[in-house]
Structure 1
């Protein structure tokens, strides 16, 4: 970084002072550096001998891919520091991870499930943790990790510094912050709407039995699709799409929960390097995916949750580039489409310029359509506009986040400062 990104500029001054923080920012905003650099500085300024199985700073992430990316960022940022770190997640043999933790670590990046398993086996200790980061808290909530997170937090000293980052701030996350954070500062990135105009969003109405043929036609005929991220609703659906595209010589990889960690990392590397033109993913597996140069996002199946659509299409049009988002919609998905359009505050343009267009599905569409749906209307669309563009430079807001101190926080919780962290 030559200049700090908006989230870094707003968060770091508070974090180096030891304040708890509630941050609203998506992947691609420089969020990892915003919490990693203050942690590294604190560790460097407060060096101490590691205790066996001890952990000094803990970062929780919802997926293996995100945990690996965070671990790599810490490795790069702290390459000149004498700091020991480890990354643990499910899908690999625990013996290797147990060995890495045996002598203690300064930084531990972990997924909640594997961390709790090792904690229950007494293979690590959290009584020396001075800094806790909950990254992508909204996704951890969606994936059902909240009970695990609560158990983990109960094993960490109350006088820690805690940071909670989330792409969105629904009421559940606000409630979560009241339980885990002590008088936090709230930092939110609020970029301008112009970046949204770089995402061209279209819907293609097609009968379900013709979806595969339509997808193949799009990828074979449109040479502007240099790097495409395709979303499927299920693991098996992602596999079927990848196999079918591979049969017609379209270089394709797939990532989902059933893939082993080495296979997932290999697929991501092929996609990043350009050896794979297409990556097929489920919503959960793609969370934390940070790949530049994605020209197209294709929703082979529309998500049931409208907010997932926002996360999906936000993978393209990064760093000032243009992007295209295509949604293949069959008759059974009309209700999902309606929810999406209500969420973003506008109707998607209909693309009829393909051989599988279904006019009968199009005719069932309710409501008026706009001719230029790159632009978002006010109301609900404003929220989505902010979410879609959270990866770009923009305006920021930072303000104290007040809370009710009688909301069940531990009575012995101290105000966080650098000097009061566990040492």
Structure 2
């Protein structure tokens, strides 16, 4: 029997253990080499209970270009049943933080959502006993992890609860604006007719530009052209907004270029790029990950030219919403943060949570500190006066 067949087939034994409350995780293994873990990882991807941010092609590019440069060691944890059939995989990286060994999901600040890759039937029936067995197994590994810092986890994914929500948790500091799209619904249910008319009026100015078009980058030439534009415009845009340029961090540009150019086995790329452009320039760019159900935005920018006055980012976002709705997608998110433009499209929030789980005595105090810092950050984000003070301080430090 193939690995994929084993992963996709629920068993009577598993159901009986779930009813009795017994834990089903019998073995917990760790891999420090991504390629050794790759066969299990890719087989669990086919179960489709993970977000597109947990694809092997996406995270292996991040680890190679960003994780390694930040002295983060791959720590791929695989939990199996008594027959050594994989039940879940945790794509983690471990690093030292203030003398404590902390394991976090791979991807760092570039992933909107973090999850394990689950065998779907196991995820649907996972119990507290299963999660306790998982933590016990991780604690006993030779990796010597002090704290599991699992941040930005969705409480649900495609209508199924994330089993990690059974562990102690707190609401994440930042929310994630979400748009849900009913299959076959008229365009006005996604974006109101009045808003569409406003955007159409602005777009007339752009339509006068020679070669104006919406482009989905599919060829190597198109992808490289879009990324060259992004890495030229984004530093200027962030400097104008007095924001730090996270895309200048070591390895980030190489990671994004690699992921954007990596084709997926079932078509598309690990990161998909949409753009408005004309013959003279790339006017706006939005890039994100997609899995046939959800498009999740990662990064964006728009021109510094006069064309910026005609809301090219909003026009491109309208095009992206319609593009994925026409292909049967049921949701779209615009990444972490509550920027005003996101609320023009996304009326709901994706509930996300953090867990700080100590595995050693030394990790206990560290977990308390991390949790407290996250609580304080959320308080600042939720309190307008404190948020304004924080923004003013950040702007002053960047002068």
TM-score of the alignment, normalized to the shorter chain, above 0.5 = no
TM-score by length of 2: 0.31
TM-score by length of 1: 0.30
Q: When you count strand as a share of all residues, which structure comes out higher?
A: 2
